[in-house]
Structure 1
Amino acid sequence: MIENMNNPDPFAPVRAAYADRSGAAGQARAAGQPVVAYLGNATPVELIIAAGAFPLLMAGDPLDDTPLAEQYLDDDFDGDLRSVYQRIVSGHYNLADLIVIPRSSNNYLYLYYFLRETRRMLPGQKFPEVVLFDVLHTPFLSTGQYVYKRLLALKARLEKLGGKAIDDAALRAAIVTVNRSRAALQDLNALRREARVTGADLLRATGAAGFAGPAAAAAMLRAAHAQLASLAPRGGMRLMVKGAPHDNAAFYELVEELGALVVADDHVSGERSFEHLVEEGVEPIAALAQHYQLHAPGIRSFPQLTQDRRFIEIVEQAQVEGVAFFHDEFDDTMGWDYPEQKRLLDERGIPSVFLQQQSYRTPDRAAQEAAIRALMERKTP
């Protein structure tokens, strides 16, 4: 943790929001505001806000038992989604009036189907209605037109929930609100590049933006930025974490406790989730369609060459000195991409380590520590 004489932990409010993940949504619900829970970074939270609802990012917990997931889900579901499924079906998210799942990966789509079937098979398990936002990420005009229509369908469902039409003025205001949150994260990420913010804290800030709501998050993040901007940078090997998403900061903390710095990441719960702002000043549904079609990072995006190029751009911009590829236990996509990405790093003399088939619930921390130590020893002089 980076310290400041005036405030020993400038991230205290952010840490609290990251730890109490449903607290703000619970307060909104108690005040009579509808709550819409959502998954991932490809759900248009702007529409949720414009409908007058509170957007709550869903996340798993590796400490949770998942008996229903073990009984009803296929064996190859990622650990974090098994936990999310368990939480939904067991009632953890019953404070929500609606759940939105984007089709940003096959596992997200399958989760939606399994939840629909679970409702039929287990009528005694009460959980909110689940709707699919069928977003696609191929860079074609026809895809954009399809996403536009899916946005209109989701808009109609949210209007029903809120009991009123969502007009352009409300949607434009919501876009500005969410953009401010993303911009605040961008500014904090710039401090991370300067080694003034730890990677673990930046990961917490990214998650807190989804738990606390964009408006409250922007205020917290700006306050933290004001205190951290004047701190002296830390030393240590500059690392990137790439691959599977992280819904807790344990691995980042391990890396940084060893003396390295996570100055960049490339996964769907990291900096790529706030890399782009939604265009303001244009027709709002069109702006959202373009954003969520082209700029919402996914586990599998087309064309892969473009994603690899952006990966290397981040490596070079952040002056990364080593990359930790973090492979999920049931991931079936990263193995196809890794060889080319490692080759691109090798060409530049940047060492890397491949942490293969990492368990979500019972990770081998000793093995992870040994791998990171070995990577740090390979730092180019």
Structure 2
Amino acid sequence: MAAGLLPYRISGVPDRATDLVAEHVTTIRPPFTRRAATIGFVETALDAVLGGALDFVDHLVVPHTRKMVQAAYRQLLLAQEARPDLRLPSVHYLDKAYIPSPAASRFNRAALEGLADAVASWSGTPLTTHALERAVDVMNTSRALLARVAALRKANPPRITGPDALAVFGSAAVMPREAHNDLLAAFLEDTPPPVAPTDPVRIHLAGSPQDHPAVYRAIETCGAVVVGDDHCWGDRCAWWPVRSGGAPLDGIAARYDAMPACSVEFPLARTVERCVDAAVGSRPDGVIFFDLDGDEAQLWETPDEIAALRAAGIPTLHLPRQPYTAHLPEDVTAQIAAFVTSLHTAGVR
């Protein structure tokens, strides 16, 4: 933003065929007969890049988060090498060290400075202190406004639905942020009415990132409301403002060093603690963990998070290895409906 570019966060495309990924991305060598399982939102986003659906994107930053996300960097380079005729954006890898230490902080600062140099070269515009300060102010304003949206759905009764809140968070990531701030400020001038005539079951959604509303709609079709979530397309968009005062790049670097990338954090106990804190803060009647097929990070996190929540007396439903689709399978929606009903039957409502 400070370099005069438009940040645009790429999402997946539910149910998109991934023939181009199968054609251009290296397969596992025999005796294995298929490519390694990957996360649907990564696979479909990568296919969209290869297929030209995102031809308006000039430069792509691939961050070091989930393994399948960072793998896209090498996959795109190999695809371009094999097929020079493919029109692909230039790709920059934003690395990160996770084990807290002074050395990791220095490494992360250097990685961020490398990104700053890259975007300055892309735009031909030096990153001045004034431009960085303005960009920090715009983003901190955005996070404060998004925090107010998060508070609306945590209210009792909730004042915004889960799908609508997700749309607000997602739209912030794909349009000019100052314009989004103006629209959101206008929306927040008056407190919206309750989203349901009666007090609904309150559900907190955790697990894999959700960049489309299928799970939210399935939950709310059952008479519940998603009052909070724990993934990088939801409430977390409002977290970690850049500290004020001092050189702006110092504040941005400190934020980058301190914040987890998606849910990847060290040690694992801190990831679990953050998940439980987010859930408790939503004051939920129950928590649903929706883990996408191929999302290896959740194989490590979710069991401990479920155990911690149950120890705190919060009911949970775990839906592992789920497909990345715009329409959930009937058996999955049935499990969600049964869980919501069980909260009613147990006297939660």
Is TM > 0.5 for Structure 1 vs Structure 2? yes
Which secondary structure state, in structure 1, belongs to the residue aligned with residue 296 of structure 2? coil
Which of these residues, 294, 318, 321, is aligned with residue 285 of structure 2?
321
**1:270-309 residue pairs with structure 2 within 5 A?**
270-309=234-273
- Who is 2:193 aligned against? 231
Cα distance in 1 between the residues matched to 2:223 and 2:328 = 19
**1:55 pairs with 2:4:** no
**1:68 pairs with 2:29:** no
Amino acid at match of 2:16: D
- Who is 1:204 aligned against? 167
Which of these residues, 254, 264, 270, is aligned with residue 228 of structure 2?
264
Cα distance in 1 between the residues matched to 2:263 and 2:38 = 14
Amino acid at match of 2:131: A
Q: Which runs of 5+ in 1 are unaligned?
A: 1-48
Amino acid at match of 2:258: L
**1:90-169 residue pairs with structure 2 within 5 A?**
90-169=51-130
State the shift of 1:158 in Å: 1.4
- Who is 1:7 aligned against? none
Which of these residues, 127, 133, 156, is aligned with residue 172 of structure 1?
133
State the shift of 1:233 in Å: 5.8
Which secondary structure state, in structure 1, belongs to the residue aligned with residue 242 of structure 2? coil
Cα distance in 1 between the residues matched to 2:291 and 2:329 = 14
Cα distance in 2 between the residues matched to 1:155 and 1:103 = 16
State the shift of 1:362 in Å: 7.1
State the shift of 1:225 in Å: 1.8
Cα distance in 1 between the residues matched to 2:63 and 2:166 = 21
Amino acid at match of 1:221: L
Contact preservation (8 Å) 1:273, 1:297: no
- Deviation per residue, 1:18-54 (Å, 9 max, x gap): xxxxxxxxxxxxxxxxxxxxxxxxxxxxxxx110111
Contact preservation (8 Å) 2:230, 2:279: no
Cα distance in 2 between the residues matched to 1:363 and 1:331 = 19
Cα distance in 2 between the residues matched to 1:109 and 1:314 = 26
Amino acid at match of 1:96: V
State the shift of 1:332 in Å: 1.7
Relative to structure 1, the CA distance from residue 237 to residue 129 in structure 2 (aligned partners, 3 Å threshold; closer, same or farther) is same
State the shift of 1:284 in Å: 1.5
TM-score when scaled to structure 1?
Answer: 0.83
Amino acid at match of 1:247: D
- Who is 1:3 aligned against? none
Q: Which runs of 5+ in 2 are unaligned?
A: 26-34
Cα distance in 1 between the residues matched to 2:99 and 2:184 = 33
**1:23-34 residue pairs with structure 2 within 5 A?**
none
Contact preservation (8 Å) 1:241, 1:266: yes
State the shift of 1:338 in Å: 2.2
- Who is 1:36 aligned against? none
Which secondary structure state, in structure 1, belongs to the residue aligned with residue 317 of structure 2? strand
State the shift of 1:182 in Å: 1.3
Cα distance in 2 between the residues matched to 1:334 and 1:207 = 22
Contact preservation (8 Å) 1:51, 1:164: yes
Contact preservation (8 Å) 1:93, 1:127: no
Cα distance in 2 between the residues matched to 1:120 and 1:297 = 29
- Deviation per residue, 1:327-352 (Å, 9 max, x gap): 11112221222222122122222211
Which secondary structure state, in structure 1, belongs to the residue aligned with residue 65 of structure 2? coil
State the shift of 1:110 in Å: 0.8
Contact preservation (8 Å) 2:207, 2:231: yes
After TM superposition, which residue ranges in structure 1, 4 or more long, deviate above 6 angstroms? none
- Deviation per residue, 1:68-106 (Å, 9 max, x gap): 112344331211111111111112222122111111222
How many pairs were matched up?
A: 332
State the shift of 1:140 in Å: 2.0
Which secondary structure state, in structure 2, belongs to the residue aligned with residue 344 of structure 1? helix
